[in-house]
Structure 1
Amino acid sequence: MTDGTFKGFGPKAMPFFKALDFHQSREWFAENRALFDSDLHGPIGDLVEVLTERFATAGLGLRGDRKKSLFRINRDVRFAKDKRPYNRHVSAILSPDGSKTGLGVFYVHIGLERCFADVAWWNPEPPLLLAIRRAITDRPGEFRKLLSTLKKNGLEFETEGRMKRAPRGFEQIADADLAEAVRNRHFVVQRVIDPTEIHAPALVDELVEFTLRAKPLLDWGRAIQGKVTG
């Protein structure tokens, strides 16, 4: 059990992942479940709840809880070639409505290979993605102002999932920066987390500070989303 404050991930968090990666056994996981709960699962639940409070104070419009916001460590292997039963990370999402399906979200990932946090418009539905792309091309000044603000804040868009060619209807965009932007399927900025940072309560302050720097992306997307859903 925890008292709801974030004290950091436990000292055996990464050794647990290394051992889990070696064994990938339900029997081994069951035997070491208490360590998973104390050093990983409990702390990420605490982190979500503390961030929810801090995000509310900062007016970021993002929330979650330790039951609904955490992703399972168990992998869905029904249709996967890789039949390993467990992920090598823990992760969680905070969104405007507290669900995992919301858009304009904060995501945190603590894992064996890497640790990071994202603020993202991830995989928006086709109507919203089209509206985002039209906002880029129809109001380029606003979009370039967003890019400039993010750059001043030490952030830039990630390129994961970017299309190799222009989407239909945007083939004639002449400006290179706009042509590149409309090829994005996601609009994401990221903060890499040094694994040594995860063990200290100060991680909360770092993630709040990152999300505040990324707030212009949230605001820009929400304005577009409001016109689509309104």
Structure 2
Amino acid sequence: MAGAFDGFGQKAIPFLKALDFHQNREWFQENRDLFERELRDPFGDLVETLSERFAAAGMGLRGDRKKSLFRINRDVRFAKDKRPYNRHLSAILSPDGTKMEQGVLFVYIGLDRCFAGVAWWQPGPALLLAMRQAIATRPGEFRTLIATLKKAGLELDTEGCMKRTPRGFEHVAEADLAVAIRNRHFVVRHAIDPAGIHGPALVDELVDFTLRAKPLLDWGRAIEGKVPKD
């Protein structure tokens, strides 16, 4: 049942620690109630509370407890690491409420770290090409975006950046533009203090971050709107 987010349970992170130690279905089934009460159900509340806040702010991001949360079970079919469970739980809020859209808010509560990201993550070839072309042909617009994000305390993440300039962009000589064009993703992140996940103030924290990151969403959406649909 939906409810206002009041915080993750005090045993949310200890549960993940214990699950990581045991890593077996029997232990998980015995402790499923703890998982649901301390971690999964509060995460559903968080997603739906954020959806209400974003709707009021006209952010174009939404989700619900059924579609937005990723499973804690790992897909091990083609993985060398056969551990059955993740060390984290995560969720996405997107323009249509599914996990298939681009321009999203990603929230990750994990044993290793807690963070949120506003992301254009692994955009399809046509959209990624259009984003790179926008950087190359409208550098002033892109630099304004970067300056706006910097003023808000954010910067583009360089994870997964290509080592070489992609074909067709060898002519881009300015260092900042060349580095940006090598991105495979366009992402800004916000570190969440694990001690701060247990109260409702996390909602305000994530809304504030997403509002500060909105220029990245707007930039990508303007480009996406001109890319022909498959």
TM-score when normalising by structure 1: 0.98
Give the aligned residue type for 2:176.
D
Confirm or deny that 1:189 pairs with 2:170.
no
Counterpart residue identity of residue 58, structure 2: G
Alpha-carbon distance between aligned partners in 1 of 2:225 and 2:205, rounded to the nearest angstrom: 29
What are the equivalent positions in structure 2 for 1:164-183 lying under 5 Å apart?
Answer: 164-183=163-182
Matches within 5 A, 1:1-230: 2-229=1-228
Task: Give, as a single letter, the amino acid of the residue that structure 1 aligns with 2:106.
Answer: Y
Unaligned runs of 5+ in 2: none
Q: Note the C-alpha offset of 1:4.
A: 1.3
- CA separation in 2, counterparts of 1:52 and 1:3? 12
Distance in 2 separating the partners of 1:89 and 1:83: 16
Once residues 180 and 215 of structure 2 are traced to their aligned partners in structure 1, the CA distance between those partners, rounded to angstroms, is: 16
Q: Using the alignment, how far apart are the partners of 1:3 and 1:218 within structure 2?
A: 27
Contact kept, 8 Å, 2:68 with 2:97, in 1: the verdict is yes
Question: What runs of 5+ residues in structure 1 fail to find an aligned partner?
Answer: none
**2:180 is aligned with what amino acid?**
A
Structure 1 residue 128: Cα displacement: 0.5
Matched residues in 2 for 1:211 and 1:229: separation? 27
C-alpha separation between the residues in 2 aligned to 1:100 and 1:199? 26
Aligned residue type for 1:16: F
SS at match of 2:146: helix
Q: Secondary structure at the match of 2:226?
A: helix
The runs of at least 4 consecutive aligned structure 1 residues that moved more than 6 Å come to none
The letter for the 2-side match of 1:69 is: S
Please state whether the residue corresponding to 1:109 is helix, strand or coil: strand
What letter matches 2:20 in structure 1? D
Matched positions, count: 229
CA drift of 1:92 comes to 0.3
SS in 2 for 1:214: helix
Per the TM alignment, residue 34 of structure 1 is displaced from its structure 2 partner at its CA by 0.4
TM-score (norm 2): 0.98
* Conserved? CA contact 2:20–2:87, under 8 Å: yes
| Structure 1 residue 3, shift from structure 2 partner | 4.6
Distance 2:21 2:65 in 1: 28
Q: Distance in 2 between matches of 1:11 and 1:149?
A: 37
Name the aligned partner's letter for residue 30 of structure 2. Answer: E
1:9 is paired with a residue of what secondary structure?
A: coil
Q: What is the CA-CA distance between 1:229 and the residue it aligns to?
A: 3.2
